[in-house]
């Protein structure tokens, strides 16, 4: 997370001064006044009622990618966009879709000391204990009782039928496997039980197979998102013992892998023996978390259907007067089960935004840049829909000035945003124009600044649909929303009842989200000059250098980042002049403005070692240990920044 640059704060302080309507970044005085008028018409159009209607359609049936219910939702969203006045089509593509064929977990307590407390009785020589792998339904939420919820699984798992001693491996991170090895626990040929949460789940399984495991079982420990955090569903928002997190593992998995509930994990843990682990090793289940192998053995069966299926993106366009440029609002529509939060929330925000924008367009408003709504399929299986969209729409590279992502963005009441630096001031300024539903006379900006962390905008991470835009094209991205405790992540409990009861009673914040996405999109689409603030990229660039230098100092290595520093200094000087011009609605032409920001975004943003870092290629080169690689990566980044500077001159 980064602090807003001082420049942006100073600008916002100016913007906040009344009573004269403040200027809007990127607009001339005349077009700014027109924009205010249209925003005033827009702001009351998104509604809680509209949001709830979409949530009803989304939460009606499980709609895993490539199913009939998924297709039905593609049609529902297309119908809405058409009704709102968008030029709409469904773009089909094909992809590998995994579904479970046979899944089984059996426990062989094998006559060792073992005290079952869960309603079965072990005797020497009894058959293995087979587990019920379903998520038990919750009688208070009938949606969870439906058979179509299906068995939890991990897409991308290898097929396999293995029986092996069980080892609890905490979070499945390299240091956890090191702890086990130090304790003399042999991981080769074992099945490992891993708590979700240390890194992307596929990485955990890769770590396990690298350590020699032949099977992996994943679960959520109540210490992380369940009873140890607070009341569980249906009494509270945290994950109940019976709930299981599904999820994709990505490519490269060679061992069978299956997610189970904490309740089943507890039974497995109780069958393990060994000394206790170091501090932090144990979770919150009423069970031992030993450093040991067995004596219990597990029989794990995973057989999947690996099919090529048709998936569907829904795409609607509101044509601008300069249609070669566009603002894309995207969200994924597919879900593991009902997905009313993941990703109903993002879909709802964008559909309600579209409803408002469509109404404006039918009553006289015409955006300068085209507004494109893209509701993606197959995100849960590895960002498939957005990747297909970016691949089949290469015009976006030259024309898309911003990608606004609606992620799982309504799980509580704490407002947050992530964005590339160039968009950060525009996002913050837009919150001034959105009312806070909790306080009649105040706005979202006030609510945000009153939160403990104040106005902070995070750097974009990975794992969502903006990757295709930001990491591939360099398109600036932003994502906004409200977060809170969200236990049912990727489970059958992510339902309408859950969202209505815990995330957003009354759906008022769903409306706020739509209002904010709408204001941000309108400004980006209508501005005379694209509303980037180039100076706002400097904190990211400088922190990227500082970070790699600090690491080198710790490691006693010397690296030469002078070329980057020189390039950034020249860029900073050019950015000042450009920012002043853009603020008044002037500045370089759109093509050069966009090219400049893309040059920087492509080298500045990315992920290394599970973490969002500035200059990811430099970080990776540094990690390789080769000074020549660092020199090359620094030169590449410096050259990109120099090209950006040239565009701004």
Which positions lie near Zn ion, rule CB under 5 A?
342
CB of 342 to Zn ion, least distance (A): 4
Question: Per the structure block, which two tokens stand in for 121?
Answer: 């009785």
Phi, psi of 22 (to 5 degrees): -70, 160
Which of 481, 476, 466, 465 lies closest to 514 in space, CA to CA? 481
Collect all residues with Cβ–Cβ distance below 8 Å to 31 and sequence separation of at least 6.
526, 527, 528, 585
Yes or no: say if 257 and 303 are a contact pair by the CB < 8 Å rule. no
CB of 338 to Zn ion, least distance (A): 12
Query: Residue 218 gets which letter from DSSP?
Result: E
CB of 343 to Zn ion, least distance (A): 6
The half-sphere exposure of 342 on its side-chain side, counting CA atoms within 13 A, is: 23
Q: Which is nearer to Zn ion, 91 or 342 (CB)?
A: 342
Question: Per the structure block, which two tokens stand in for 398?
Answer: 């030259």
**How far apart are the two ends of the chain, measured CA to CA in Å?**
30
CB of 407 to Zn ion, least distance (A): 9
Q: Which is nearer to Zn ion, 334 or 352 (CB)?
A: 334
Q: Which is nearer to Zn ion, 342 or 599 (CB)?
A: 342
Q: Which is nearer to Zn ion, 342 or 436 (CB)?
A: 342
Residue nearest to Zn ion (CB): 342
CB of 58 to Zn ion, least distance (A): 13
Q: Which is nearer to Zn ion, 332 or 447 (CB)?
A: 332
Residues 22, 37: Cα–Cα separation, whole Å: 13
Which of 351, 352, 332 lies closest to 342 in space, CA to CA? 332
Burial of 187 (0-12, 13-18, 19+ CB in 10 A): buried
Residues 44, 335: Cα–Cα separation, whole Å: 30
Q: Which is nearer to Zn ion, 95 or 538 (CB)?
A: 95
Q: Which is nearer to Zn ion, 143 or 342 (CB)?
A: 342
Question: Per the structure block, which two tokens stand in for 160?
Answer: 């396999």
* Helix/strand/coil for 34: helix
Q: Which is nearer to Zn ion, 70 or 526 (CB)?
A: 70
Q: Which is nearer to Zn ion, 464 or 535 (CB)?
A: 464
CB of 337 to Zn ion, least distance (A): 10
Q: Which is nearer to Zn ion, 98 or 342 (CB)?
A: 342
CB of 479 to Zn ion, least distance (A): 14
* Helix/strand/coil for 596: helix
Stretch (H or E) spanning 483 = strand 477-483
Question: Per the structure block, which two tokens stand in for 223?
Answer: 């210490």
Question: Per the structure block, which two tokens stand in for 123?
Answer: 């005797």
Q: What are residue 99's DSSP bridge partners?
A: 305
Residues 553, 587: Cα–Cα separation, whole Å: 40
CB of 336 to Zn ion, least distance (A): 7
Residues 613, 622: Cα–Cα separation, whole Å: 13
Q: Which is nearer to Zn ion, 219 or 534 (CB)?
A: 219
CB of 547 to Zn ion, least distance (A): 29
CB of 158 to Zn ion, least distance (A): 22
Residues 497, 266: Cα–Cα separation, whole Å: 28
CB of 201 to Zn ion, least distance (A): 11
Residues 472, 404: Cα–Cα separation, whole Å: 15
Please state, in angstroms and as integers, the Cα–Cα distance from residue 582 to each residue in 7, 26, 569, 644, following that order.
Answer: 14, 5, 20, 16
* Helix/strand/coil for 101: strand
């Amino acid at each position: 997370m980064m602090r807003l640059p001082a420049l942006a704060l100073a600008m916002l302080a100016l913007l906040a001064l009344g009573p004269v309507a403040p200027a809007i970044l990127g607009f001339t005085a005349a077009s700014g006044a027109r924009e205010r008028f249209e925003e005033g018409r827009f702001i009351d159009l998104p509604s809680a009622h509209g949001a709830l209607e979409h949530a009803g359609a989304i939460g009606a049936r499980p709609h895993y990618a490539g199913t009939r219910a998924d297709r039905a939702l593609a049609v529902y969203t297309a119908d809405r966009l058409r009704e709102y006045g968008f030029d709409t089509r469904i773009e089909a593509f094909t992809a590998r879709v995994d579904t479970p064929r046979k899944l089984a977990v059996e426990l062989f307590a094998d006559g060792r000391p073992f005290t079952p407390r869960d309603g079965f009785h072990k005797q020497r020589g009894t058959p293995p204990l087979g587990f019920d792998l379903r998520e038990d339904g919750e009688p208070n939420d009938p949606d969870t009782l439906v058979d179509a919820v299906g068995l939890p699984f991990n897409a991308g798992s290898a097929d396999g039928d293995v029986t092996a001693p069980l080892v609890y491996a905490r979070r499945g991170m390299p240091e956890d496997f090191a702890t086990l090895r130090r304790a003399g626990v042999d991981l080769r040929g074992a099945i490992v039980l891993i708590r979700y949460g240390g890194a992307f789940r596929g990485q955990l399984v890769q770590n396990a197979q690298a350590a020699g495991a032949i099977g992996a079982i994943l679960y959520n420990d109540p210490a992380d998102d369940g009873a140890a955090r607070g009341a569980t569903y249906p009494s509270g928002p945290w994950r109940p013992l019976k709930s299981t997190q599904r999820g994709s593992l990505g490519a490269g998995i060679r061992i069978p892998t299956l997610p189970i509930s904490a309740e089943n994990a507890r039974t497995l843990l109780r069958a393990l023996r060994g000394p206790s682990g170091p501090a932090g090793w144990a979770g919150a289940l009423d069970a031992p978390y030993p450093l040991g192998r067995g004596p219990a053995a597990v029989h794990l069966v995973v057989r999947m259907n690996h099919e090529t299926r048709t998936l569907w993106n829904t795409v609607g366009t509101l044509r601008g007067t300069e249609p070669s440029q566009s603002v894309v609002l995207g969200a994924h529509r597919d879900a593991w089960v009902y997905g009313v939060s993941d990703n109903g929330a993002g879909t709802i925000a964008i559909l309600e935004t579209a409803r408002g924008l469509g109404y404006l367009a039918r009553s006289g408003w015409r955006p300068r840049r085209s507004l494109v709504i893209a509701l993606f399929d197959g995100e849960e299986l590895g960002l498939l829909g957005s990747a297909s969209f970016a691949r089949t729409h290469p015009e976006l590279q030259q024309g898309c000035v911003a990608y606004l992502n609606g992620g799982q963005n309504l799980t509580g009441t704490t407002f947050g945003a992530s964005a590339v630096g160039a968009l950060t001031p525009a996002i913050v300024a837009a919150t001034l124009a959105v009312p806070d539903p909790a306080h009649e006379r105040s706005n979202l900006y006030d609510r945000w600044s009153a939160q403990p962390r104040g106005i902070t905008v995070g750097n974009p991470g990975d794992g969502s649909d903006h990757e295709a835009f930001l990491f591939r094209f360099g398109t600036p991205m932003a994502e906004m929303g409200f977060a809170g405790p969200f236990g049912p992540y990727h489970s059958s409990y992510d339902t309408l009842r859950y969202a209505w009861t815990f995330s957003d009673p009354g759906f008022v914040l769903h409306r706020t989200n739509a209002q904010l996405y709408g204001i941000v999109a309108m400004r980006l689409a209508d501005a005379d000059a694209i509303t980037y603030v180039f100076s706002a990229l400097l904190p990211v660039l400088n922190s990227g250098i500082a970070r790699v230098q600090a690491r080198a100092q710790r490691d006693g290595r010397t690296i030469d980042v002078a070329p980057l520093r020189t390039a950034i200094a020249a860029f900073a000087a050019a950015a000042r002049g450009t920012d002043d011009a853009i603020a008044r609605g002037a500045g370089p032409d759109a093509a050069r403005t966009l090219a400049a920001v893309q040059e920087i975004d492509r080298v500045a943003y990315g992920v290394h070692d599970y973490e969002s870092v500035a200059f990811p290629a430099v970080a990776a080169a540094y990690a390789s240990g080769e000074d020549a690689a660092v020199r090359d990566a620094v030169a590449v980044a410096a050259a990109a920044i120099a090209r950006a500077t040239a565009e701004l001159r």
